[in-house]
A and B are shown apart, each in its own frame.
Chain A
Amino acid sequence: NAGVTQTPKFRILKIGQSMTLQCAQDMNHNYMYWYRQDPGMGLKLIYYSVGAGITDKGEVPNGYNVSRSTTEDFPLRLELAAPSQTSVYFCASSYSGQGGHEQYFGPGTRLTVT
């Protein structure tokens, strides 16, 4: 199992550009999440999905969009990039939301907007 994979690992965007961060998991997990981590801070939830075709906003959704057409993939779209979106983005997945089922994280994408 590759687990949770994310591409790209690094990206520099100019203000106003758009891009899609890719996330895929091969563990057949229903639940998937996108977080951002600003320097020296904890993770904040951007969007999450409890299954294919179902997405919902997290704590900091403004400036982002997601889709979940398959169980495996959960891309995050940035429209009109702003310097405030400079961050490390983590995708995660979990088998269930109950009990001790932990979230498995991808390696992260480091994004700089200048």
Chain B
Amino acid sequence: AQKITQTQPGMFVQEKEAVTLDCTYDTSDPSYGLFWYKQPSSGEMIFLIYQGSYDQQNATEGRYSLNFQKARKSANLVISASQLGDSAMYFCAMREGGNDYKLSFGAGTTVTVRA
């Protein structure tokens, strides 16, 4: 079964508007972490934001915020005030507890910011 599901293959957003990227996850482990990475067309993977399963508050990093709904097992990324440089592929990933420390990635969502 898929551990991370990203249902939006591609999205368009107008410059300066906000965009929400959906991510749902599947785990029975009470301890886990959720990550979002950005992959621009140049190919590198850039870490954006992290949310731990026991964190009481939603994570924020500059223009990025994570809408964490634990009961619904969703961890949506919100990008506010979109910029042209935000055009990229965005991946949601999960690390479950235990000693493996491995990341399971979703299929990604392509975001295109229009001027």
Contacts and interface: CB of A to CB of B under 8 A. Distances in A.
Contacts of B37: 105
A42 B104 CA distance: 9
A51 B50 CA distance: 24
Contact of A100 (B4, B50, B104): B50
B25 interface: no
A43 B91 contact: yes
A42 B108 CA distance: 6
B68 interface: no
Contact of B35 (A48, A50, A102): A102
Given A41-B107, A42-B106, A97 B101 contact: yes
Interface string B89-115: 001010100011111111110000000
A103 interface: yes
Interface stretch (B14-22, B39-47, B75-83): B39-47
A99 interface: yes
A58 B102 contact: yes
Interface in A58-85: 58
Interface residues on B, range: 20 to 34
Q: Which residue of B91, B99, B100, B101 has the most chain A CB atoms within 10 A of its CB atom?
A: B101
Contacts of A44: 105
Contact of B91 (A42, A102, A107): A42
Contact of B45 (A31, A96, A105): A105
Contact of A43 (B33, B52, B105): B105
Given A33-B102, A45-B104, A102-B50, 18 more contacts: A33-B103, A35-B105, A40-B108, A42-B93, A42-B105, A42-B106, A42-B107, A43-B93, A45-B102, A50-B99, A97-B99, A98-B101, A99-B33, A102-B35, A103-B47, A104-B47, A107-B43, A108-B43
Interface of B: 4, 33, 35, 37, 43-45, 47, 50, 52, 91, 93, 95, 99-108
